[in-house]
Amino acid sequence: MNGYQELARAVLRETYRDLCRGAGGGRRGTYLSARFFLDTPLFKVLCRLAGVRPGFARREMLRRAAAHRKEK
């Protein structure tokens, strides 16, 4: 894996973490930023660099983050 792939995956991981944390407890801005990021061209570029399909990544991030928030 090259440096660009590592960076892309790190950004995607952080986006997922922000989605998992939800919008409560003063984190609304961070959550909304992560949510809106999923619909940007940069998200698509980073997904392709990381080797995942953007549509699949978006759906899975949202699904898993919602399930994670329900567990808490």
More confident: 39 or 1? 39
Alpha-carbon gap, residue 54 to 61, rounded angstroms? 10
Q: Which amino acid is at 7?
A: L
Per-residue model confidence (pLDDT) at position 72: 65
The band of 67, judged by pLDDT with boundaries at 50, 70 and 90, is very high
pTM score, whole prediction = 0.89
Q: Residues 5, 50: contact at Cβ < 8 Å?
A: yes
Q: Where do the structural domains in the chain lie, given as residue ranges?
A: 3-71
Residues 52 and 16: beta-carbon distance below 8 Å: no
pLDDT confidence bin for 59, thresholds 50/70/90: very high
Report how far apart the first and last C-alpha atoms of the chain are (Å, whole number).
34
